[in-house]
Protein backbone atom coordinates (compact mmCIF):
# COMPACT_ATOMS: atom_id res chain seq x y z
CA UNK A 1 0.00 0.00 0.00
CA UNK A 2 1.42 3.35 -1.03
CA UNK A 3 1.20 6.23 1.45
CA UNK A 4 1.19 9.67 -0.07
CA UNK A 5 3.30 12.38 1.51
CA UNK A 6 0.16 14.29 2.42
CA UNK A 7 -1.11 11.26 4.36
CA UNK A 8 2.16 10.98 6.28
CA UNK A 9 2.02 14.67 7.14
CA UNK A 10 -1.50 14.22 8.51
CA UNK A 11 -0.34 11.25 10.58
CA UNK A 12 2.51 13.34 12.05
CA UNK A 13 0.20 16.26 12.77
CA UNK A 14 -2.28 13.97 14.52
CA UNK A 15 0.52 12.49 16.64
CA UNK A 16 1.67 15.96 17.71
CA UNK A 17 -1.87 17.00 18.61
CA UNK A 18 -2.60 13.87 20.59
CA UNK A 19 -5.37 14.33 23.18
CA UNK A 20 -6.12 17.97 22.40
CA UNK A 21 -9.60 19.30 21.86
CA UNK A 22 -10.53 22.39 19.87
CA UNK A 23 -12.93 24.96 21.31
CA UNK A 24 -15.33 26.60 18.85
CA UNK A 25 -16.83 29.88 20.02
CA UNK A 26 -19.19 32.35 18.38
CA UNK A 27 -19.01 36.13 18.56
CA UNK A 28 -21.78 38.22 17.00
CA UNK A 29 -20.76 41.59 15.61
CA UNK A 30 -23.49 44.14 14.95
CA UNK A 31 -23.90 46.80 12.26
CA UNK A 32 -21.23 45.45 9.93
CA UNK A 33 -20.03 47.28 6.85
CA UNK A 34 -18.08 45.86 3.90
CA UNK A 35 -14.72 45.89 5.72
CA UNK A 36 -15.32 42.61 7.57
CA UNK A 37 -13.26 40.48 5.17
CA UNK A 38 -10.29 42.78 5.77
CA UNK A 39 -10.78 42.49 9.54
CA UNK A 40 -10.85 38.68 9.34
CA UNK A 41 -7.65 38.61 7.26
CA UNK A 42 -5.89 40.92 9.72
CA UNK A 43 -7.07 38.85 12.68
CA UNK A 44 -5.78 35.67 11.04
CA UNK A 45 -2.39 37.33 10.59
CA UNK A 46 -2.35 38.82 14.10
CA UNK A 47 -1.02 35.64 15.69
CA UNK A 48 -3.36 35.19 18.64
CA UNK A 49 -1.83 32.53 20.86
CA UNK A 50 -4.39 29.74 20.48
CA UNK A 51 -6.51 30.91 17.54
CA UNK A 52 -6.49 28.16 14.93
CA UNK A 53 -9.07 29.74 12.61
CA UNK A 54 -11.74 32.39 12.27
CA UNK A 55 -14.59 32.37 9.77
CA UNK A 56 -17.99 33.85 9.10
CA UNK A 57 -20.60 31.45 10.43
CA UNK A 58 -23.80 33.44 9.88
CA UNK A 59 -25.00 36.74 8.42
CA UNK A 60 -28.40 38.06 9.37
CA UNK A 61 -30.46 41.24 9.16
CA UNK A 62 -33.07 42.34 11.66
CA UNK A 63 -36.48 42.28 9.97
CA UNK A 64 -37.38 45.53 11.76
CA UNK A 65 -34.56 47.47 10.12
CA UNK A 66 -33.65 46.42 6.60
CA UNK A 67 -30.95 49.04 6.00
CA UNK A 68 -27.64 47.88 4.55
CA UNK A 69 -25.66 48.82 7.67
CA UNK A 70 -27.90 46.68 9.88
CA UNK A 71 -26.17 43.42 9.01
CA UNK A 72 -25.06 41.30 11.93
CA UNK A 73 -22.40 38.64 11.54
CA UNK A 74 -21.51 35.72 13.77
CA UNK A 75 -17.84 34.79 13.62
CA UNK A 76 -16.77 31.30 14.59
CA UNK A 77 -13.40 31.24 16.31
CA UNK A 78 -11.55 27.97 16.81
CA UNK A 79 -9.04 27.87 19.67
CA UNK A 80 -6.64 24.96 20.08
CA UNK A 81 -3.26 24.23 21.63
CA UNK A 82 -0.84 21.87 19.91
CA UNK A 83 0.10 20.10 23.13
CA UNK A 84 -2.89 20.10 25.49
CA UNK A 85 -6.58 20.75 25.84
CA UNK A 86 -7.18 24.37 26.80
CA UNK A 87 -8.71 25.11 30.18
CA UNK A 88 -11.34 27.77 30.85
CA UNK A 89 -8.74 30.36 31.88
CA UNK A 90 -6.80 29.96 28.60
CA UNK A 91 -9.99 30.24 26.56
CA UNK A 92 -11.24 33.28 28.49
CA UNK A 93 -7.90 35.11 28.11
CA UNK A 94 -7.83 34.41 24.38
CA UNK A 95 -11.42 35.52 23.82
CA UNK A 96 -10.82 38.64 25.94
CA UNK A 97 -7.83 39.56 23.78
CA UNK A 98 -9.74 38.97 20.55
CA UNK A 99 -12.86 40.87 21.64
CA UNK A 100 -10.76 43.80 22.91
CA UNK A 101 -9.11 44.07 19.48
CA UNK A 102 -12.46 43.82 17.70
CA UNK A 103 -13.79 46.70 19.79
CA UNK A 104 -10.71 48.95 19.95
CA UNK A 105 -8.67 48.30 16.80
CA UNK A 106 -11.50 47.64 14.37
CA UNK A 107 -14.17 49.82 16.05
CA UNK A 108 -16.83 47.11 15.79
CA UNK A 109 -19.66 46.39 18.23
CA UNK A 110 -20.08 42.99 19.81
CA UNK A 111 -23.56 41.83 20.74
CA UNK A 112 -23.53 40.84 24.39
CA UNK A 113 -25.32 37.61 25.31
Between 87 and 15, residue with greater pLDDT: 87
Altogether, the residues listed in the chain come to a count of 113
Handedness of CA 34, 40, 46, 50 (dihedral sign): positive
For the chain, percent helix, then strand, then coil, each to nearest 5? 35, 30, 35
What string of DSSP letters covers 74-104? EEEEEE--SSS---HHHHHHHHHHHHHHHHH
> Under CATH, to which class is 21-110 assigned?
alpha beta
Q: Is the pLDDT of residue 92 over 50?
A: yes
Give the chain's mean pLDDT. 79
- Given a contact cutoff of 8 angstroms between Cβ atoms, the answer to whether 77 and 98 are in contact is yes
- CA distance linking residue 59 with residue 57, whole number of Å: 7
- Mean pLDDT throughout 94-102? 92
Tell me the CA distances in angstroms from 55 to 1, 37, 66, 74, one per residue in order. Answer: 37, 9, 24, 9
Q: pLDDT digits over 26-36, tens only?
A: 988 887 776 78
Amino acid sequence: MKIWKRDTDLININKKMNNTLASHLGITITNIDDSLSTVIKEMNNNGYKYMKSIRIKDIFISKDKLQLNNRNVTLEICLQSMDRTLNDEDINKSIQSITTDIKKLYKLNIQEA
